[in-house]
Amino acid sequence: MKGKLIVFEGIDGVGKTTLSLTFKKELAKRGIPAIHYEKEAEDENGGYNKLKPFIKNNTPSSASLFFYLSSSIFKSGIINELLKSKWVICDRYIYSTLAYHKIRGANYQNFFKLNNLPIVWPDFYFLIKTNEKVRLARIERRKTSLKDDFKRKKRGSLVDRMEKELVRFHPHIINNNSDDIGKTVARIIHLVFRDV
């Protein structure tokens, strides 16, 4: 059985992790083996993660972009192996890397064509969105929130530009304003299985 790669993207506080973990449970109910990459595979395979804080704070955006791209290629190799026997769910993938660096001034289009990157492309890419009041309330409730998570999404802000850049990669956009996670996941399940 070849698995599918499902990617959840979005700015901080929109519910990516909650939705992706609930989606994994729904797959289990259907008898579909799945792994949540960031929760179950990244730590044991992630040599890049220890360097990310240094790279983020100490390198120009173009150098940082190439580091994060190599991290994505490394991650993709692991995902490719996992897909041989299960579905893989990612809470962020290459789209965040590209969007973040684009709004920071790195022009990756000068260096490579996106579809030539040696990575596994997702079967489904969901961009999770929510209104600002709901997003900030969720961040407030999280025990692991960082100061940067509380940046408001105002027109032209870094957070706003990030979300707009993520839209450019043609995702399925999911509105996650509701507190009913089940309904939101049901919409995602419908999209994933409608052609099966």
Annotated binding residue 144: no
Annotated binding residue 52: no
Annotated binding residue 14: yes
Q: How many residues does the chain have?
A: 196
Q: What are phi and psi of 173, to 5 degrees?
A: -90, 125
Annotated binding residue 103: no
3-state secondary structure 66-132: HHHHHHHHHHHHHHHHHCCCCEEEEECCHHHHHHHHHHCCCCHHHCCCHHHCCCCCCCEEEEEECCH
The amino acid that residue 138 corresponds to is: R
Annotated binding residue 182: no
Annotated binding residue 59: no
Annotated binding residue 47: no
Annotated binding residue 17: yes
Spatial distance between the Cα atoms of 95 and 52, rounded to a whole number of angstroms: 17
Spatial distance between the Cα atoms of 50 and 63, rounded to a whole number of angstroms: 17
Helix (H) or strand (E) holding 22: helix 16-29
Binding site, annotated residues for ATP:
10-17
Binding site, annotated residues:
10-17
